[in-house]
Amino acid sequence: MSALYAATLQTFKAQGWHYREVTGMEVLEADFEAHHTKVALHVQIYGEAHIATVVATASLQVAHTHRLQVSELLMRTNKELNLGNFELDWDSGAVMFRLTNIFPPHRYDERILATLVHTTIAETDRLTPFLGEICNTPKGELILLRVRDLMKREDLLPPAPTEEP
């Protein structure tokens, strides 16, 4: 077990997060309840390279008829992100958010690991209602859908987080 994987396990335990270890790999999987959706999370550690990658998969699958509009949504969203990126698996229609951090050797800050998880969940949850609006648009009405205008809808955003004492 790499030291980074051990730190990741400790982070999940310290946060009280339930997880599943993938046998034979330095991978944790977990499900989180967010504001809009349940977020499936996959955390993979590359111990020798000191890399942690956190990937969330959106709960919605994108039909092939809707992939162009979803691709525009992801491209426009990625343009505004500081960390991470959204991806669309063109063949399966799966939408994912990926966030990676390279750590200095033997300096695996659990706060950073927890932030990677929190950020991945938050970004996936934030995108979900916009993704749902596109996926639920009838195929014949997609030509009328303006992704740029859809992204301006503040009613689809989760509430801002409150400060913890």
- Contact between residue 74 and residue 126 where contact means Cβ atoms under 8 Å apart: no
pLDDT at 117: 95
Measured CA to CA, the distance from residue 114 to residue 14 in angstroms comes to 10
* pTM, two decimal places: 0.86
Tell me what pLDDT residue 163 has: 66
Half-sphere exposure of 104 (CA within 13 A, CB side): 2
Question: pLDDT at position 164, please?
Answer: 63
pLDDT of residue 165: 55
Domain boundaries defined on the chain = 3-156
Q: Return the H-helix or E-strand segment holding 52.
A: strand 51-61
Give the integer Cα–Cα distance in Å for 158 and 119: 14
Q: What tens-digit pLDDT sequence spans the chain (165 residues)?
A: 899 999 999 999 999 999 999 999 999 999 998 888 899 999 999 988 999 999 999 988 999 999 999 999 999 999 999 999 999 999 999 999 999 999 998 888 899 999 999 999 999 998 999 999 899 889 888 888 888 888 888 777 766 767 665
Helices (DSSP H) in the chain: which residue ranges?
3-15, 67-80, 110-135, 147-150
**Protein fold of 3-156:** Yope Regulator; Chain: A, (3.30.1460)
- Give me the pLDDT at residue 106, please: 86
CA distance 61 to 3: 36
